[in-house]
Amino acid sequence: MIPANSKRARLSLVRMTARPLGLLLFVLAAFMALCAALGFLALPADGWDIASTQAGAHSMLTSAGITGVVGLIALIASLGVPFKIGRREALFVVSSIWIAMGVFGAIPYIIGAHMSWADAVFEAFSGVTTTGGTILTEIEGRLSAPLHLWRTMTHWIGGIGIVVLFVAMLPSLGVGGKRLFQSEAAGPDSGGLSPRIRDTAKVLWWIYLSFTVLEFFVLRVVGMPWFDAIAHAFSNMATGGFSTKNSSIGEYNSASIEVVMTLFMLVAGTNFALFHSAKTKGLSVFWKSHEFRVYMFLFTGITLVIATDLRFDMYESMGEAIRYAAFQVAAIMTGTGFATADFEEWSTLSRIMLLCLYFCGGMAGSTSGGMKLIRILIIAKAVVHEVRIGFRPALVAPVRVGEHAVAEGVVRATLVYALLFMGTVGLGAIAVACLDPVDITTAFMASLACVANVGPGMGAIGPTENYAFFSDSTKVVLSFCMLLGRLEFFSLLALFVPGFWRR
Amino acid sequence: MHVVIIGMGAVGRDVAKVMQAERHDVVVIDNDPDVIDVVNERLDVATVVGHGANPKILQLAGVDQADLVVAATDNDEVNLVAAIASKQLGAGRTIARLHSGEYEDTMSEDEVEKGLHYGMLGIDVVVSPPILVADEMFQIARSHGALDVHLFAENRIELAEVELMENSPVIGIALKDLTLPKQTRVGAVVRGDEIFIPSGKDALASGDRAYLFGRTADMHEIEDLFCHGQEASRVVVYGGNVVGEVLSRRLSRAGVHVTLIAEDRTAAKKLAPGLAQVTVVHGDGTDIARLEEENVGNADLYFAVTDDDENNLMSGLLAKRLGCPRASCLVHRHSYQELYRTLGIDMVISPRQIAADHILQYARPPQVESIVRLGDGDAEVLEVTAAMGSPVTGKPLSKISMPAGVMIGGVLGPEGVHIPDGSSVIEPGDTVVVLALTKQRSYVEKLFQRSLF
């Protein structure tokens, strides 16, 4: 039995959420309209069909209209409801905003590409959570230019986080903004860029926007067509993985494009706060960051191991081996999920190395997926710490990462996070296996690739395959896995704990 | 503005809360991680855990970039060192909160003339809560029955808070029909939990608390009209601490008969030599027999200013029971303030709030000279200099559209002070005392700043 006052608390929570939801839908509608306009950058000279672009633009505008009207209704419904953000409210607002993004993000696919609702929802959640796994078998012909743009745009909106944009735009959220920000945050280390959360959010969006524009121009310079450059800049900086091409980046077969994208994937996986402090304190801040050093060490180390392995296995020269290995390592590690090679054909050693990278992710405070390196570091140090305690029980020492002592609460939260990550991957794999007749690799990798927000997996969902063959229910389960992974479990799971609804 | 606040006690937290709400960049330092956790949870500020006098910690908090550093821990020496170190590291203005009377002595005017002042250490402002409290209590004792008194414009404009008793002659009459003494006016009214600025049609009711503006010299007249108070001639002060000492000394110098009750004999013995005109006794102020012996019932005013909130309350209530018409208590814990009023203490004074108010005025744009928060901070009184070309200058006040919730209480111009009416014109450079609801602050700021066009 639910007591009456808890029902009231639930109702006011829902009504209060209508305001940020309404605002979100307006923002989404604006982005949809932007896609309709930018779609015309897809030039016939690059093989795009003007008529289909026009039809696409039309369907994008229709979707924008629907989204905008629903947003307006939500805003009207929220009139007169006091807007005060405590811990509970922040969790609920952030979770519902993300669910709404996935649901409304699916509208253009249903209208513009006549997808089934499950396909559209999967594609939309894969977009906003920057996973990049697709249900499209034939990418180029199936979608019109504005829809291609929408796919990568959903990445871009979800990459740094829509709530961060809200906090940056809306004044007077105060400490409520901080709570919202933390509920969406990527990694345990967030904030500290500026004393006020609104300024922090603004700085993050500026860094994000600047790098996206920069990448767009650089891609253009190294020979990518206008339209593809925009789409890939969006997709890349968000560490998403949607491409406008069937064979992803491999389509261009251009070493310079691959180098540029590898670099920008690494940038997107770096803590954005470092770029901000580098502006005042110089480039040494990168090297001083323990996490950054581990990031670079892992990237170069694993690239070299895989390249050496591939050199004897597949490729003619070391240079070629490094080219493919580096791109793929960056793509998996940061959770982007682009592909230039079918890594399914690589040796077991190389694939195991990649598999480990699914878990790692990039740095905290970046757009990357996975568990984030700082967490891996904390867990590793906590393990060493426990072992030391085992033979010297009187030892009093904190868990340290670099110079910094990690608070016990943070260590505990990190361990719980890791358990949730593993648990979700495991349960997700079981669910997939229940719902679809797939082999063990496919079931496990589908779950892992979605929770870690990477995208392509191994087995039947490798870099050259896709998620289209799964049943509708599996697609919904995997969409939920992606959202859990993106919101780092706690925010979303709080809604399922009975105490959350009780006052 | 970048502000660093050292020490998250009641004062530090209050200052941090107001400053972050006003969208300043605030960094706070405290050496207790648990306190920092609470601050992180409640305020939109950056935090540093560490000792506030440690230059490394100060640097980490960015004092070198700070426009204002507030050292408000409960340790005077830490505050001094923190303020000095911050100044050395390049901070703008530094404020140190000092409790001890020891430091206060070097602040007297003769000492300043001899070159002894905190400026030489690099501390711009010293905020001493006990002295501020003693000042405020002194003003109350000098008024005709006011609950609280604030002075503005070189002490020439006064704001007095009075409570309306049932028999007050002003009750029930619309303000526009009320004949007030010259150069005075009603600023704001607190009714229940609400504070509002009354219009001409509003009438006052019994139990209201009214804020009255006037020239300092004229205030006794309007106070008499509203609440029939009397200037205190016999006062009992309970508390052998800095507040008690400074208050007794000031009152006795003004010709008031003061009895100072100190809690213990040693304290009394230490105080007595410095207080020539004051009767210093030792005793327990919560002992009714002791209070009777000191004839508290015949005093005009009773101040309980010990460091113990509960003793102050009990002692104040006993004094009222013995027949003292007005009792005032010091309360250290903010949240007790309203409760004490309900229980029958006439004036409840929080040193922390006074200190926070005092510190906050340095966070305002330079043209704001001082600021006092009224009620629970829902309204405030600002002392502002009207800028050349600002919207408030050059035309009669009745021609300036002002939203409800803003009123001008007094003007200090070259010809002296006056309380303006609709025909008054404010000239650039005048000091203006404005009472405004806090939510109207941005409007007030615009009113007094030079417009771009």
| Residue B168, pLDDT above cutoff 50 | yes
Q: What is the pTM of this model?
A: 0.81
Beta strand B148-152 with B157-163: parallel, antiparallel or unpaired? Answer: antiparallel
- Those residues whose C-beta lies under 8 Å from the C-beta of residue B124, and which sit 6 or more positions away, are B93, B94, B95, B118
**Chain A positions in Cβ-Cβ contact with residue B42 (cut-off 8 Å):** 175
Q: What is the overall mean pLDDT for chain B?
A: 84
CA angle B171, B172, B178 (to 5 degrees): 75
Residue of A nearest to B4 (CA): A195
Among B360, B358, B336, B366, residue whose Cα is nearest residue B348: B336
Sign of CA dihedral B126, B269, B134, B190: positive
| Contact present, B190 and B437 (Cβ < 8 Å) | no
Residue of B nearest to A409 (CA): B37
Q: Which residue has the tokens 């007297």?
A: B108
CA angle B302, B306, B312 (to 5 degrees): 55
d(CA A332, CA A455): 9
d(CA A474, CA A134): 13
Per-residue model confidence as pLDDT tens digits over B278-327: 889 988 989 888 888 888 888 989 999 998 999 999 999 999 999 888 89
Among A395, A250, A415, residue whose Cα is nearest residue A328: A250
How far CA A382 is from CA of A190, A422, A423, in Å, comes to 21, 17, 20
Per-residue model confidence as pLDDT tens digits over B183-217: 888 888 888 778 888 887 888 888 888 888 888 88
Categorize the per-residue pLDDT at B114 as very low, low, confident or very high, splitting at 50, 70 and 90.
low
Residue contact B46–A191, C-beta within 8 A = yes
Residue contact B20–A174, C-beta within 8 A = yes
| Residue B453, pLDDT above cutoff 50 | no
Quick one: B105 exposed, middle or buried, by C-beta within 10 A (0-12, 13-18, 19+)? exposed
Interface test with B, best of A84, A180, A181, A196 (most B CBs within 10 A): A196
Q: What token pair was written down for B379?
A: 């309204």
Nearest CB to B26: which of A171, A195, A407?
A: A195
Question: From the CA of B42, how many Å to the nearest CA of chain A?
Answer: 6
Residue of A nearest to B42 (CA): A175
Nearest CB to A194: which of B25, B33, B43?
A: B25
d(CA A463, CA A345): 10
Per-residue model confidence as pLDDT tens digits over B40-75: 888 888 889 999 889 999 988 889 989 999 999 989
**Chain B positions in Cβ-Cβ contact with residue A174 (cut-off 8 Å):** 20-21, 44
Query: Within a 10 A sphere around the Cβ of B228, how many other Cβ atoms?
Result: 14
Query: Within a 10 A sphere around the Cβ of B59, how many other Cβ atoms?
Result: 15
- Give me the mean pLDDT over the B134-142 stretch: 87
Residue of A nearest to B16 (CA): A195
**Chain B positions in Cβ-Cβ contact with residue A194 (cut-off 8 Å):** 25, 46
Residue of A nearest to B33 (CA): A407
Cα of first residue to Cα of last residue in chain A, in angstroms, is: 14
d(CA B382, CA A388): 61
The residue count for chain B:
453
Categorize the per-residue pLDDT at B386 as very low, low, confident or very high, splitting at 50, 70 and 90.
confident
Output the pLDDT for position A119: 93
| Residue A235, pLDDT above cutoff 80 | yes
Residue contact B25–A174, C-beta within 8 A = no
**Chain B positions in Cβ-Cβ contact with residue A404 (cut-off 8 Å):** none
The DSSP code sequence of B47-61 is: EEES-TT-HHHHHHT
Q: What is the longest distance spanned by two Cα atoms in chain B?
A: 70
Per-residue model confidence as pLDDT tens digits over A376-416: 999 999 999 999 999 998 888 888 888 788 888 889 989 99
Output the pLDDT for position A288: 87
3-state secondary structure of A317: coil
Residue contact B44–A177, C-beta within 8 A = yes
d(CA B310, CA B312): 5
Element (H, E) at A220: helix A197-221
Residue B238 β-bridge partners: B261, B304
Is residue B389 left, alpha or beta, with left meaning phi > 0 and alpha meaning psi from -120 to 50?
Answer: left
Among B231, B289, B290, residue whose Cα is nearest residue B263: B290
**Chain B positions in Cβ-Cβ contact with residue A191 (cut-off 8 Å):** 46
Among B25, B67, B74, residue whose Cα is nearest residue B52: B74
Query: Within a 10 A sphere around the Cβ of A438, how many other Cβ atoms?
Result: 20
Per-residue model confidence as pLDDT tens digits over A287-306: 888 899 999 999 999 999 99
Q: In this structure, what DSSP letter does residue B180 have?
A: P
Task: Sheet containing B379-385: give its strands across.
Answer: B368-374, B379-385, B431-437, B406-413, B416-418
**Chain B positions in Cβ-Cβ contact with residue A199 (cut-off 8 Å):** 25
Categorize the per-residue pLDDT at A9 as very low, low, confident or very high, splitting at 50, 70 and 90.
low
Phi, psi values for residue A189, rounded to 5°? -100, 110
| Residue A124, pLDDT above cutoff 80 | yes
Residue type, A498: P
| Residue A207, pLDDT above cutoff 70 | yes
The DSSP code sequence of B315-341 is: HHHHHHHTT-SEEEEE-SSGGGHHHHH
| Residue A308, pLDDT above cutoff 50 | yes
Categorize the per-residue pLDDT at B109 as very low, low, confident or very high, splitting at 50, 70 and 90.
low
- Give me the mean pLDDT over the A132-136 stretch: 90
Question: From the CA of A176, how many Å to the nearest CA of chain B?
Answer: 8
Categorize the per-residue pLDDT at A433 as very low, low, confident or very high, splitting at 50, 70 and 90.
very high
Output the pLDDT for position A1: 41
Per-residue model confidence as pLDDT tens digits over B208-262: 888 888 888 878 888 877 776 677 889 999 998 889 998 999 899 888 899 999 9
Helix and strand numbers, DSSP H then E, in chain B: 15, 22
The residues on A that touch B, with CB distances below 8 Å, are: 171, 174-175, 177-178, 191-192, 194-199, 407
Residue contact B45–A195, C-beta within 8 A = yes
**Chain A positions in Cβ-Cβ contact with residue B25 (cut-off 8 Å):** 194-196, 199
Per-residue model confidence as pLDDT tens digits over A490-499: 888 888 888 8
Residue contact B44–A192, C-beta within 8 A = no
d(CA A191, CA A164): 11
Residue of B nearest to A87 (CA): B41
Q: What is the overall mean pLDDT for chain A?
A: 88
Alpha-carbon Rg for chain B, nearest whole angstrom, is 23
Interface test with B, best of A88, A89, A172, A178 (most B CBs within 10 A): A178
- Give me the mean pLDDT over the A2-13 stretch: 59
Categorize the per-residue pLDDT at A8 as very low, low, confident or very high, splitting at 50, 70 and 90.
low
Question: From the CA of A50, how many Å to the nearest CA of chain B?
Answer: 50
CA angle B229, B231, B234 (to 5 degrees): 115
- Give me the mean pLDDT over the B87-92 stretch: 89
Per-residue model confidence as pLDDT tens digits over A15-66: 778 888 898 899 999 999 999 988 888 778 777 888 888 889 999 999 999 9
A vs B: CB pairs below 8 A: 31
| Cβ under 8 Å to A: B residues 36-75 | 42-46
Nearest CB to A174: which of B21, B27, B46?
A: B21
Q: What is the ipTM of this complex?
A: 0.75
- Those residues whose C-beta lies under 8 Å from the C-beta of residue A386, and which sit 6 or more positions away, are none
Nearest CB to B44: which of A192, A196, A407?
A: A196
| Contact present, A216 and A257 (Cβ < 8 Å) | no
Nearest CB to B44: which of A192, A197, A407?
A: A197
